[in-house]
Chains A and B, each alone.
Chain A
């Protein structure tokens, strides 16, 4: 299987970015966004402890359910929707090919 998947990210200004995500580097969506210099802070480094990689999943993909830690952290995020996730908790796998996410608004 191809080790690269296509990921679409819509930034906070509504611009669409087409990213290529490697699935063999143990990378997550937060890290991929950072690698493309999209405005995702990832303050805590991916421990589900800061909510700065809050995003909405717009396509239907078979994602693992959020952990209790992720839910707890989403409590500290704003404008949380049913499709809200922390990018750092979504690992890039071949099943995610074609996924589209939108970055959630951030507070000041």
Chain B
């Protein structure tokens, strides 16, 4: 079991900066994120994009900002549970919170700070009517165990790196691999594009371009996909597996079921300290909502700072907090345990 002072859900820029502000007040933090690396959207969606409205930085790449934040919080030795989704949250009799992830990791803390941005990143599901019926019965959005596809027929859809990489990988393993893509060109690493085209030329895989998978059929288990190809129209293609790889998109997920006041996919907070309707739970950054809210990283930093002042009183009910500037006291990290 992991115990800490502030449990931060979401390791994006705002979650990371919370560690710094909490650290100044001698509170320890532990971050949970469904992505395998810290940085949230900045790392997952736009690491190479410059950001121009971080005070003091005329321009900073999103990936660079995350790197700097990690350096800034290092003295406070935050803990991380990465690649796991915060699943259940309950209040214990002693007033602290217990959070369990989808992989069963148990965390406890007197304060929970939700810095979940737009929610957790999950694979995009194609809007095909009966797709739910075939999940785990032939349709997989993530390849967990490639051995499942050995000597089977697989239809992969998508045009990015993961579609290309898995097509190349499965070509060795599966009985038949078909890659369906909406246009003739591919984005993704030039090496991979070349490899896929080579595999198609040699007949090891089948490339169906200017096409999309628009339907699924089978009786309890997938046995064919409906492909709609330009000039050719719709046709049935028999297969054992369909693997749509269309990247990730954020979903609010289990946070929506924790009894928090939610409107328009955002958690309502009091701007005094960014507290939610449940005492001890705060929401900061893009995931919260209040009159005048702007979804900006710099606003999230501000929210994290004020929140920590309030969280201090929950973590240390008997201590008095005196405000100090870092220019006066510097930054004193935690001793290595």
A contact set with B: CB distance below 8 Å: 43-45, 47, 49-50, 52, 68, 71-72, 74-80, 105-108
Contact = CB atoms under 8 A, between A and B. Distances in A.
Interface in B219-251: 246-247, 249-250
Contacts of B181: 75
Given A75-B158, A78-B212, A108 B127 contact: yes
A6 to B, nearest CB: 27
B313 interface: no
B150 interface: no
Interface string B290-326: 0000010000000000000000000000000000000
Majority secondary structure, A binding face: loop
Nearest to A80: B182
B283 to A, nearest CB: 18
A108 B212 CA distance: 18
Interface stretch (B5-13, B20-28, B118-126, B255-263): B118-126
- Chain B interface mostly: loop
A50 B185 contact: no
Interface size class of chain B, counting residues whose CB lies under 8 Å from the partner chain: 20 to 34
Contact of A107 (B41, B127, B159, B187): B127
A105 to B, nearest CB: 5
Nearest to A82: B230
Contacts of A106: 127
B61 to A, nearest CB: 13
A78 B214 CA distance: 9
Nearest to A104: B127
Top 8 nearest A-B pairs (CB, nearest first) are A75-B159, A72-B187, A107-B125, A76-B247, A105-B127, A76-B246, A108-B125, A107-B127
B45 interface: yes
A43 B249 contact: yes
